[in-house]
A and B are shown apart, each in its own frame.
Chain A
Amino acid sequence: MSAEQASIASVTDRVRPVAIGAPVTSAYFLKDRAAFVCGEEKVALVSQDGEIDNIEVHSGGILSAVSDGERIVMGGDNGKVVALDAKGEVTLLATDPKRRWIDNVAVHPDGTIAWSAGKTAYVKAPKGEEKSLEVLSTVGGLAFAPKGLRLAIAHYNGATLWFPNMAATAEFLPWAGSHLAVTFSPDNKFLVTSMHEAALHGWRLADNRHMRMTGYPGRVKSMSWSADGKFLATSGADTVIMWPFASKDGPMGKEPAMLAPLQARVTAVACHPKQGVLAAGYSDGTILMVRLEDGAEILVRRNGTPEVSALAWNAKGTWLAFADAEGNAGLLEL
C-alpha cells in the first residue's frame, strides 16, 4: 500500500470476492447477475450473493464480446457468433462458413447484430437477411451509431460508415494508420477510434474534421463515455484521460482532463451509467471509483493484485463488477 492510497476512503472490505478460475477478458450485467466473459469457452454468471453459474458458450477462444444489457453477443475462434441471455441460455446466431475467427461483434438497440471475420463485416437484423460489406483490410472494430441503422467499421487507414439498409455506397473516413476499436459519441456527432499507435483519432461527423488525441504512453484498450456524454474516459496512461466532447468542436484544441494518477497504467475504465462517477482499473491491480467533478477517489481494490481486465456497472448503477487476468473477480454494492 502506498501512503497515497492509505489516505483515501476505502470500500475494499465491502467487496464480495468471486473466484472465476479462468482469465476474464470482459464483464457485463444481465439483469441481476454479473457476467464474466472468460478468455475461452465460458461465461460465469454470478448472482449478487456470489453464486456462480458457469455457462459453456464457445468450444474455443472467445475473441470478442458486447452486451446490450439483455444478452451478451460473442465471437469465437471457432467461427461462431453466439448470444447468452440472462437465463443462461445460449443461442447460435451465425457461423462463418470458413470457420474464420470472429474478431469483432456489435449489437444495435433494435436487436440487430454485427460481426466481422477478416476484411468482411456482417449485419443481421433479428428477422432480416444477413448482409455484408468488405472493407480495405481486416476489420479492427465495429460499433453501431446511436441513431438509425448505421455501422462504423474501423480498419487500416481509416473507418467506414455503412448504412446496411441503404443502397448508397459506404462512406470512407480516411486517416493513416491502423484503427483497432471504434465508438460513437452518445449524441451521434463524433466517431472515435483507438489506434495501433498509442493514440485516438476522431472525426466530427458533420464535416469529417479530424481530431487527433495523442500523448498516451501505451495503446488505448478501454474507452467509456460518461453518463452525460460530455467526456470520453480512456485507459492507456498512468492516469484516466478524459477527452471533452461537450462543445460542438469536441476535444479539438483542448487538453484532456486527467484523473486518478497512480504509478501504474490504467487498463480498464467504466463510467457510471447515471452519475458523474467512473471506475478505473490499473495494471497493478488497483481499482478506484473517481468522481468526475473533483477527482475524489474511493479505493475498491488494493494494488499488488493482478492487472484489472474488466469493469462493469449494472444498468441502475447500484453494482460494480470487476475481474482480473487471473480469474479473480469481485462484486461491490453501492
Chain B
Amino acid sequence: MAETTSEKIPVTVLTGYLGAGKTTLLNRILSENHGKKYAVIVNEFGEIGIDNDLIIGADEEVFEMNNGCICCTVRGDLVRIMEGLMKRRGKFDAIIVETTGLADPAPVAQTFFVDEDVQKNARLDAVVTVADAKWLSDRLKDAPEAKNQIAFADVIVLNKTDLVSKGELSEVEARIRGINPYAKLHRTERCKVQLSDVLERGAFDLDRILDIEPDFLEVDDHDHDHDHDHHHHHHHDHDHGHGLKHYHDEEMQSLSLKSERPLDPALFMPWLQNLVQAEGQKILRSKGILAFSGDDDRYVFQGVHMMLEGDHQRKWKDGEKRESRVVFIGRELPEEKIRAGFEACIVEK
C-alpha cells in the first residue's frame, strides 16, 4: 500500500490505574473546543459525559496469535472495531482507546503493528498514562499493572498534584523516573493539560524520533543541569542534595546505551533482532538512533516487545554529532549481556 503516515488515522492509547483520572482526561479532550471529532473506544459505557455518536464499547479481548508467541498478543476486539470504524472514515479525525485500569498496554500497541488491515488504516500515536500523584507510589509497590503502564508510557499525566505536598510530589516523580525517564511528564490537577501535550505526539513515528534524551523536570525553582547519562545501580535511594531523589526500581528499569564510534550494521541488526527475540518478554519498549559505519543516513528504530520497525531517517547534518543511542525499558533486563552485545557491534578504530 502506498498510503503515507499522514493519511492514517492517529490512535492515542489512554491507560492508567483505577481512579487515576482517565475518564476526566477523556472528558476534557472531548469537551474542549478543538474542532476535531474523535472516535472513542471505551470499556464502560456511560462514564463519558459528552454526546458522541462514535463511542464504542470494547471487551478487552486479548488474543494470542497462533505462532504461540506470548509477545504477539493482540486485542481481537480492537481489530474488529477498527474494521467497523473504517466504514465511517471521514466521520472522525482520530481515535482514542481507553483501557481498563488493569490492562497491559502492550496488546493494544501490538494490534497496530501486527494486524495488516489495522496497520493500513491507522497508526499508533502515543501511549498516554494517567497517574495519581497521591497513590501511585503505593500502586507501584503492589500493582504490577501500574508499573507496566508507567514503563510503557510516552506521556505521563501526573494527576491530583493538588492532593500532595511538594515533598510527596518529588517522591512520586522520582519513582516514575526510576522506571521511565523518557516519557514526557505533565503535572496536573483534574487532568488539566494542553491537548497538544497528549494528542498528535507521533511517539511511534520513526520520523519523529528526534531525540531520546531523558525528559527531566524542573524541580522547584532551579534548573539542575547535572549529568544524567550515568545510570544508578544502587539498590537504595540516594539524595543529590537538592531534594530530587533518584530511585532505581528493582524490577522495571530503563537501560541507555551510547557510542560515539559508528556501529557495524552487519553486527548490530542481527544482534538487535536476536535480543528482542530472546528477551522480548522483558523488553517493553525500545528506541534507537544509530550511526552506522559507511552510511551517511541516520537510522532509527522503535519496538514494542518483540516487534521492531526501523528505517533510514535522513542524512546526518553537517556538524551533527554522529552518535548512536539506544534505549530499552523493561523488567529485569540482563544489563551486562545487553551492554556487552552492544559494545561488540561498535566498529574498532
Residues of A at the B interface (CB closer than 8 Å) are 23, 25, 39-40, 60-63, 77, 98, 100-101, 103, 118-119, 137-138, 140, 156, 176-178, 180, 195-197, 199, 218-219
Contact = CB atoms under 8 A, between A and B. Distances in A.
B272 interface: no
Given A138-B76, A138-B80, A218-B116, A178 B63 contact: yes
13 contacts: A25-B87, A40-B87, A60-B88, A61-B85, A77-B88, A100-B57, A118-B57, A138-B76, A140-B80, A176-B66, A178-B76, A196-B65, A196-B79
A101 B56 contact: yes
Contacts of B115: 196
A97 to B, nearest CB: 12
A218 B80 CA distance: 16
B84 interface: yes
B63 A156 contact: yes
Contacts of A119: 59
Contacts of B86: 39
Contacts of B76: 137-138, 156, 178, 196
B61 interface: yes
Contacts of A60: 53, 88
A39 B87 contact: yes
B335 interface: no
A137 B61 contact: yes
Nearest to A100: B57
A265 to B, nearest CB: 10
A23 B87 contact: yes
Given A77-B88, A156-B61, 17 more contacts: A25-B87, A39-B88, A40-B87, A61-B87, A61-B88, A62-B87, A77-B56, A100-B57, A101-B56, A101-B84, A103-B84, A119-B59, A137-B59, A138-B80, A140-B80, A156-B76, A178-B63
Interface string B63-100: 11110000000001101110011111101000000000
A197 B65 contact: yes
A215 to B, nearest CB: 14
Contacts of A199: 66
Interface of B: 45, 53, 56-57, 59, 61, 63-66, 76-77, 79-81, 84-89, 91, 115-117
Contacts of B85: 61
A77 B76 CA distance: 18
B117 A219 contact: yes
Enumerate the 9 nearest inter-chain pairs by beta-carbon distance, A residue then B residue, closest first: A39-B87, A61-B87, A177-B66, A61-B88, A63-B84, A178-B63, A197-B66, A178-B76, A137-B61
B91 to A, nearest CB: 8
Contacts of A40: 87-88, 91
A77 B84 contact: yes
Nearest to B61: A137
A134 to B, nearest CB: 12
A137 B89 CA distance: 27
A118 B63 contact: no
A195 B79 CA distance: 12
Contacts of B61: 137-138, 156
Contacts of B53: 60
A63 B56 CA distance: 13
A178 B80 CA distance: 11
A77 B56 CA distance: 9
Contacts of B87: 23, 25, 39-40, 61-63
Contacts of A100: 57
A40 B136 CA distance: 43
A140 B66 CA distance: 16
A218 B85 CA distance: 20
A63 B45 CA distance: 20
A54 to B, nearest CB: 17
Max count, chain B CB within 10 A of own CB: residue among A103, A138, A195:
A138
A100 B77 CA distance: 13
A117 to B, nearest CB: 10
Nearest to B115: A196
A101 B55 CA distance: 11
A93 to B, nearest CB: 19
A62 B57 CA distance: 17
A197 B68 CA distance: 12
A143 to B, nearest CB: 17
A199 B79 CA distance: 16
A118 B86 CA distance: 18
A179 B77 CA distance: 12
